[in-house]
Amino acid sequence: MSWTVRATVHQAPTPSELQTLHDVFITIDEAGLISSIEPHANVGDEADVTLGPDQRLLPGLVDTHIHAPQWPQLGTGLDLPLEEWLFVHTFPLEARFADLDFARDVWDDMVPALLRHGTTTAVYYGSAHLEATTALAEACIRYGQRAFVGRTAMDHPAGTPEWYRDVDAAAAVRDSRQSIEEIRALDSDLVQPIVTPRFIPACSDEALAGLGQLAAETDTLVQTHCSENDWEHGHVLERHGISDAASLDRFGLLRRGTVLAHGGLLGDDDLPLLAERGAGVAHCPLSNAYFGDAVFPARRAMTAGVHVGLGTDIAGGASPSVMFNAAHAVTSSRMLEDGVDPARPRSERGRADQRIDIVTAFHLATVGGAQLLGLPVGLLAVGRPFDAIAVATDGPGVHGARRWPEVDGPADDGVGDARIFEKIVRSTDASRIKRTWVQGTCVQDSSHD
Ligand SMILES: [Zn+2]
């Protein structure tokens, strides 16, 4: 059955455009697609759902990089460098997902929580276990989240512990193939498999080549990590004598829609290669502050024609919120531009023209991620799926995004809209996301909390 919503919409169709649709009447058809958007004044009817003046409708958020089995350690253990953090904290936790009951408990906690944070599309690394990974896909379907779900392939004896690895390259490829088949057999329009070599240090060359072939044969997207930090970037240079991106390309893993997490140390030669292949970067600004050794130059990558989306990198990033990461992407771009070492003179401290603003960051959090994945979400427009969030700017228990008419101007003028939008992106947490819709279905409703 079709239904209607009346609201004021903020969205960012391009990196530099904030679009505000005042008091519009949106019709969503039974397939969950937007069939019309008109000024409410032209329609006049009562809508099925009306967002009051203290709420705004935004496109749902796209999180292009999440390690689902790291959910229980979110916010902890960030004191070690990546190569130690993996062995001390992360591999022992991920290994526990051999226990399917434990896995299901975690998915039942995580998926609704992320919907509450406004994540309507999620790109998940599962664990290395087939059963737990298929159960994650089932949980996404059950709770109504759009997702890519990948079984993590990892067979390299030097880059993985012997108690948590694929027994050999053949097993890594075979189980990845079976995971694709199991997830496709669920026959969901929302959830798709994704080929997931953990990263080059954790995979043998044979496995990497096999997984590249598997992606081509099964026409499946790929996700992995690329030039994440000095250790990982240096490992690939030493082992293969070429950059991480060039090496992934040699294995057939750099394809249209390949999601490369982090990319902070991507070189000038890598960016044109990514652009040519149609691969892109999951920019995880908060995680990079702990593990990346550098700030990913988002503006430079976008200028080079590379797709860029945002990622929380749960749990390398300590926040599950894409909105928080959007605000942080602005902050870290400013630190890249200004530099961070006060002992250096201002002229040598930073790197010119690196900043992004809040509109660009929100564009990356929505349209940018969607374009990287080849999904028609991220924007509320006729013919596109209705993936959206209702955000409270004022009201009981809501702090920080209130509109002050004396300061912010009238609600329906461009300046006032831009100010409210900035407040929303900089201060929205889960408690303010009152409803979440995916493909026209309400999958989270806390409007009466
Ligand atoms: Zn990661």
CA of 329 to the centre of ligand 1 (A): 17
Q: Quick one: pLDDT at residue 407?
A: 86
CA of 127 to the centre of ligand 1 (A): 12
Q: Quick one: pLDDT at residue 195?
A: 98
CA of 164 to the centre of ligand 1 (A): 17
CA of 281 to the centre of ligand 1 (A): 12
CA of 313 to the centre of ligand 1 (A): 5
CA of 201 to the centre of ligand 1 (A): 13
Give pLDDT tens digits for 290-330: 999 999 999 999 999 999 999 999 999 999 999 999 999 99
Q: Quick one: pLDDT at residue 81?
A: 94
Residue 409 banded pLDDT, cuts 50, 70, 90: confident
Q: Which of 34-43, 195-204, 389-398 is least confident?
A: 389-398
Alpha-carbon distance 221 to 194, whole Å? 5
CA of 447 to the centre of ligand 1 (A): 33
CA of 437 to the centre of ligand 1 (A): 26
CA of 399 to the centre of ligand 1 (A): 32
- Superfamily of chain region 61-373: Metal-dependent hydrolases (3.20.20.140)
Percent of the chain with pLDDT over 90: 91
Burial class (CB in 10 A: 0-12, 13-18, 19+), 418: middle
Alpha-carbon distance 338 to 129, whole Å? 44
Do residues 375 and 123 make contact, with C-beta atoms less than 8 angstroms apart?
A: no
- Superfamily of chain region 3-59+379-445: Urease, subunit C, domain 1 (2.30.40.10)
CA of 194 to the centre of ligand 1 (A): 15
pLDDT, average across residues 81-88:
95
Alpha-carbon distance 233 to 250, whole Å? 16
pLDDT, average across residues 78-87:
94
CA of 261 to the centre of ligand 1 (A): 6
CA of 379 to the centre of ligand 1 (A): 26
Alpha-carbon distance 293 to 33, whole Å? 42
Q: Quick one: pLDDT at residue 274?
A: 98
Give pLDDT tens digits for 100-109: 999 999 999 9
Residue 405 banded pLDDT, cuts 50, 70, 90: confident
pLDDT, average across residues 400-421:
81
CA of 198 to the centre of ligand 1 (A): 8
CA of 66 to the centre of ligand 1 (A): 7
Q: Quick one: pLDDT at residue 156?
A: 98
pLDDT value at 403 more than 90: no
pLDDT value at 416 more than 90: no
pLDDT value at 334 more than 90: yes
CA of 225 to the centre of ligand 1 (A): 6
Exposed e or buried b per residue across 18-56, where buried means at least 16 C-beta atoms within 10 angstroms of its C-beta = bbbbebbbbbbeeebbbeeeeebeeeeeebebebeebbb
Q: What is the 3-state secondary structure (H, E, C) of the chain?
A: CCEEEEEEEEEEEECCEEEEEEEEEEEECCCCEEEEEEEHHHHCCCCCEECCCCEEEEECEEEEEEEHHHHHHCCCCCCCCHHHHHHHHHHHHHHHHHCHHHHHHHHHHHHHHHHHCCEEEEEEECCCCHHHHHHHHHHHHHHCCEEEEECEECCCCCCCCCCCCCCCHHHHHHHHHHHHHHHHHCCCCCEEEEEEECCHHHCCHHHHHHHHHHHHHHCCEEEEEECCCHHHHHHHHHHHCCCHHHHHHHCCCCCCCCEEEECCCCCCCHHHHHHHHCCEEEECHHHHHHHHCCCCCHHHHHHCCCEEEECCCECCCCCCCHHHHHHHHHHHHHHHHHCCCCCCCHHHHCCCCCCCCHHHHHHHHHHHHHHHHCCCCCCCCCCCECCEEEEECCCCCCCCCCCCHHHHCCCCCHHHHHHHHHHHHHHCCHHHEEEEEECCEEEEECCCC
Q: Quick one: pLDDT at residue 445?
A: 97
CA of 83 to the centre of ligand 1 (A): 12
pLDDT value at 71 more than 80: yes
Tokens 């990622």 correspond to what residue? 311
pLDDT value at 398 more than 80: no
pLDDT value at 402 more than 90: no
C-alpha closest to that of 260 among 233, 238, 234, 289: 233
CA of 268 to the centre of ligand 1 (A): 22
CA of 228 to the centre of ligand 1 (A): 9
pLDDT value at 277 more than 90: yes
CA of 349 to the centre of ligand 1 (A): 29
| Token code pair at residue 398 | 């809501």
Q: Quick one: pLDDT at residue 426?
A: 94
Q: Quick one: pLDDT at residue 410?
A: 73
pLDDT, average across residues 153-179:
98
C-alpha closest to that of 403 among 423, 433, 432: 423
Q: Quick one: pLDDT at residue 374?
A: 98
CA of 419 to the centre of ligand 1 (A): 33
Residue 414 banded pLDDT, cuts 50, 70, 90: confident
Alpha-carbon distance 82 to 234, whole Å? 13
CA of 412 to the centre of ligand 1 (A): 41
CA of 405 to the centre of ligand 1 (A): 43
CA of 309 to the centre of ligand 1 (A): 14
Supply the pTM of this predicted model: 0.98
pLDDT value at 399 more than 80: no
CA of 316 to the centre of ligand 1 (A): 7
pLDDT value at 51 more than 90: yes
CA of 17 to the centre of ligand 1 (A): 30
Give pLDDT tens digits for 180-208: 999 999 999 999 999 999 999 999 999 99
Computed over every residue of the chain, the mean pLDDT equals 96
Q: Quick one: pLDDT at residue 236?
A: 97
CA of 65 to the centre of ligand 1 (A): 6
CA of 25 to the centre of ligand 1 (A): 40
Domains of the chain: which residue ranges? 3-59+379-445, 61-373
